[in-house]
A and B are shown apart, each in its own frame.
Chain A
Amino acid sequence: MAHFEKANSLNEWLDQRIGINTLKKVMQSEYWIPKNINFLWAMGMVLAATFGILLVSGIFLLMYYNPSTDLAFDSVNYTIMTEVGYGWLWRHIHGVGASLVFLIIYIHMFTGIYYGSYKRGRELIWISGMLLFVLFSAEAFSGYMLPWGQMSYWAGMVITNLFSGGSLHADGLVEWIRGDYVPGQAFLGRFFMLHVLLMPLAIIGAIVFHFGTLRLPHVNNQDGEEIDFEESARLWKEGKVKESKVIPFSPVFLSKDVFVMGVYFILFFYLVFYHFEFAMDPVNFDPADGLKTPTHIYPEWYFLWSYEILRPFPTDPGLVAFAIAQVIFFLLPFLDRSPNVAPASRRGLFHFWFWALLIDMIVLTFMGKLPPEGIWSTIGLVAAITFFVLWIALPIITKFEKKL
């Protein structure tokens, strides 16, 4: 038996048993954040808050949702939307949240790319972040199946068909994934499980890992400056707050975060209450029907760029291109050969590369939504090729980048 003194407060009692003061120091009061940052550094906590909101709204949806092919559509569109008190609120929060979480993920990603926050000790932050992107994509896709409307069914059909590998005709694998020849009860059941349990568990684990990768290298700053965190921390603790280049995560940095979150949630709830329809595809308000295809099948906006990389090529090269596009971002820390950690604006050709990539992905997104006809399919093809040219060019242009 270890020796314990009588505690004089709850805090002391907890500290004796689980070292809560050490925990607070490591995670909050002595986790140092540079002062030289802007509102884009708040996106991480905005994402965490959005995930929390998705979790809460999901819990309430789960209580009346029915994962059966006969009942799923009505349980969402009739029971939850018209009978359950405020059921519509949870659904609209969940739908809008799923869409906005990707908007913020993209902003978060491109912030990291712009400021070079993926190199020199920060590689794992980037890789765990990309892992989260993949997990959120799987979470979004599996969730999209659940209302069992026409878009759910046909998106499920088309996406699982990708696993046949084009000319490989691995139809056995596709049937194994579906548990049936076409999406049916087995398919809905397993995607329901993935959406409400396995994926959220994996996401929570990956978030913890993502935070962990951040603790030692610390977050980057607007100039990519290498900061002596120990020296700065000493200054702060001595009361020389002005001289110190850092602030503690909590409560100082967090209060900045909360301000940005406040602005963000005004937008969020404006969309939830007044423009939720952008996250609700009208085609998905027809129940799933395996004997009738919608005229145009397209994914939600956040998958359009990669869908457009698949589409303009013939089947096999298209699949290869699609597969590469899914993983290429993971390699960013290794394809960028320059040692410079600095904003793109000070990195010569890389500045051009950054904006070219961003604009190219926006073009791909728009083309993915338009029908693949005439000029649109040409623009889509050019944009898809540009995407690969940019990634091939990256190691070359960064190799010759002037050292700052």
Chain B
Amino acid sequence: MSNRRDFMGMALGGFTALGGIGALYAMKRTWDPLPSVKAAGFTTIDLKDAQENILVTEKWRGKPIFVLKQSKEMVEKAKKSDELKRLIKIGDEYYMVAVGLCTHLGCIPGYDPANESFLCACHGGMYDGTAMVTKAPPPRGLDIPPFRIDGTKLVLGEEGPEYKKMLADGTTMKV
């Protein structure tokens, strides 16, 4: 009766495989970030009190977020170098908002207000006031976190139309 044995074998094997797949799925889900971690992935920052050319560091998803309100001269400079698209416009004011991790190896650059530039101490990379890279080794400017404009506030972690436009035209990478 080898047919009966084959059937038993296949039935047992099939259900065992099914259970195995189920168990693997449960294990994968256990290893997933918790809902509370996901929920904490949204941070609202208010740009109302930001002052020109003074760097403010916020925290989003455990990463430092640089906020730099641009002065009139800085905006002019950005216009000339065609980097206005890196800035976030709220009312008549322009803000640089970026993840404060060097795009080279992830160190945190320091800001020098006198020269309106960032310097990364690890390997000497430099960025201007719009966080565009001006000196290698970093491959690109600081990444801009996903944001949605809400009055004078920014909701970090949500993708608003302004952010989607930046993604589409390659101004920033997804972080």
Contacts and interface: CB of A to CB of B under 8 A. Distances in A.
Contact of A179 (B32, B105, B106, B175): B32
B44 to A, nearest CB: 17
A292 B33 CA distance: 24
A292 B108 contact: yes
Contact of A293 (B106, B173, B174): B106
B29 to A, nearest CB: 10
B31 interface: yes
Interface residues of A, number: 25
SS class of chain A's interface: helix, strand, loop or mixed? loop
Interface of B: 31-34, 37, 41, 57, 59, 61-64, 105-108, 121-123, 139, 173-175
B63 A293 contact: no
Contact of B61 (A181, A291, A315): A181
Contacts of B57: 291
A180 B33 contact: yes
9 contacts: A171-B174, A179-B33, A181-B62, A182-B62, A186-B37, A290-B62, A291-B57, A292-B108, A297-B105
A179 B37 contact: yes
Contact of A181 (B41, B106, B139): B41
B61 A182 contact: yes
Contacts of B64: 290-291
Pick the 4 closest A-B CB pairs, nearest first. Answer: A182-B62, A181-B61, A293-B107, A290-B62
Contacts of B34: 179, 186
A297 B64 CA distance: 19
Contact of B122 (A157, A171, A179, A295): A295
Given A169-B174, A186-B34, A295-B121, A180 B106 contact: no
A295 B105 CA distance: 11
A96 B106 CA distance: 30
A265 to B, nearest CB: 40
Nearest to B63: A182
Residue in A161, A177, A182, A291 with the greatest tally of chain B CB atoms within 10 Å: A291
A158 interface: yes
Contacts of B106: 157-158, 161, 293
B100 to A, nearest CB: 8
A17 B112 CA distance: 79
A179 to B, nearest CB: 5
Given A169-B174, A171-B175, A295-B122, A190 B31 contact: yes
Residue in A157, A181, A296 with the greatest tally of chain B CB atoms within 10 Å: A181
A169 B105 contact: no
A180 B62 contact: yes
B144 to A, nearest CB: 15
A181 B64 CA distance: 12
Nearest to B102: A293
Contact of A169 (B31, B59, B122, B173): B173
A158 B33 CA distance: 19
Given A179-B31, A180-B33, 12 more contacts: A161-B106, A169-B173, A176-B31, A176-B32, A176-B33, A180-B62, A181-B41, A181-B62, A290-B62, A290-B63, A292-B108, A293-B107
A291 B108 contact: yes
B120 to A, nearest CB: 9
A388 B169 CA distance: 39
Contacts of B108: 291-293
Contacts of A315: 139
Contacts of A180: 33, 37, 62
Nearest to A161: B106
Interface in A266-309: 290-293, 295-297
Contacts of A291: 57, 59, 64, 108
Nearest to B101: A293
Nearest to B41: A181
Nearest to A178: B33
Contact of B105 (A158, A181, A290): A158
B2 to A, nearest CB: 33
A290 B60 CA distance: 11
Contacts of B105: 158, 297
B24 to A, nearest CB: 14
A87 interface: no
A178 B31 CA distance: 8
Nearest to A293: B107
Contacts of A176: 31-33
Contacts of A401: none
Contacts of A181: 33, 37, 41, 61-63
A179 B37 CA distance: 8
Given A158-B105, A293-B122, A297-B105, A175 B31 contact: no
Contacts of A184: 37, 62
A154 to B, nearest CB: 8
Contacts of B123: 372
A258 B125 CA distance: 55
A53 B63 CA distance: 39
A372 B63 CA distance: 25
A290 B100 CA distance: 11
A291 B110 CA distance: 12
Residue in A157, A161, A293, A296 with the greatest tally of chain B CB atoms within 10 Å: A293
